[in-house]
């Protein structure tokens, strides 16, 4: 292994490459079918975040910050909250009630189908997006910020490299 290469050993990196897609798909199935099985947006979002945390631990934070970064995680977090708000306000538009289950009322389906519960899968997707990006963002922030003590006082510093112009 090259000393300049960040992250863990080649074995950990190879196994991470193999299983990251399966873990992400498992999280996606937990989110999409959370209304039919135990699960939903929160546990699926935690699994999404765990996928990216595994990649960060295996390849190093520099690798992940180049690919994903805090900005994308923040944007996905905001998008999840916005989608949740849009779904809730669409209930007012279609039935006059905030957070009304307008899909099931206008297009009833049979039991045990993806949209058999109306807006719940859409809410799970937005919650999963929000929870996953928030937890990953927290992990990234905790991994790049350190506390040092100077003159008996704690001071936060970042370990990110700044571009010098």
Q: What is the pLDDT of residues 60-99, one digit of tens each?
A: 888 888 887 678 888 999 999 999 999 999 989 988 888 8
> How much is the pTM?
0.79
Sign of the CA dihedral with 42 first, then 92, 83, and 125 last: positive
Confirm if 133 and 47 have CB atoms less than 8 A apart.
Answer: no
Listed by start position, the domains of the chain span 10-158
Strand partners, 30: none
- Highest mean pLDDT: which range of 8-17, 28-37, 136-145: 8-17
Sign of the CA dihedral with 91 first, then 131, 27, and 42 last: negative
Q: Which residues contact 132 (CB under 8 A, 6 or more apart)?
A: 27, 44, 45, 46, 47, 48, 49, 52, 76
In eight-state DSSP terms, residue 109 is -
């Amino acid at each position: 292994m090259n000393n300049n290469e960040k992250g863990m050993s080649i074995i950990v990196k190879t196994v991470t490459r193999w299983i990251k897609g399966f873990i992400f798909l498992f999280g996606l199935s937990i989110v999409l079918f959370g209304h039919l099985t135990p699960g939903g947006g929160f546990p699926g979002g935690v699994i999404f975040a765990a996928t990216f945390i595994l990649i960060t631990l295996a390849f190093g934070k520099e690798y992940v910050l180049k690919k994903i970064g805090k900005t994308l995680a923040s944007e996905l977090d905001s998008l999840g909250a916005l989608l949740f708000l849009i779904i809730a306000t669409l209930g007012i538009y279609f039935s006059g009630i905030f957070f009304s289950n307008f899909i099931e009322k206008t297009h009833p389906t049979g039991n045990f189908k993806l949209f058999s519960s109306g807006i719940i899968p859409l809410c799970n997707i937005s919650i999963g997006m929000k929870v996953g990006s928030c937890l990953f963002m927290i992990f990234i922030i905790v991994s790049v910020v350190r506390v040092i003590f100077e003159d008996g006082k704690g001071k936060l510093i970042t370990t990110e490299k700044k571009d010098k112009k």
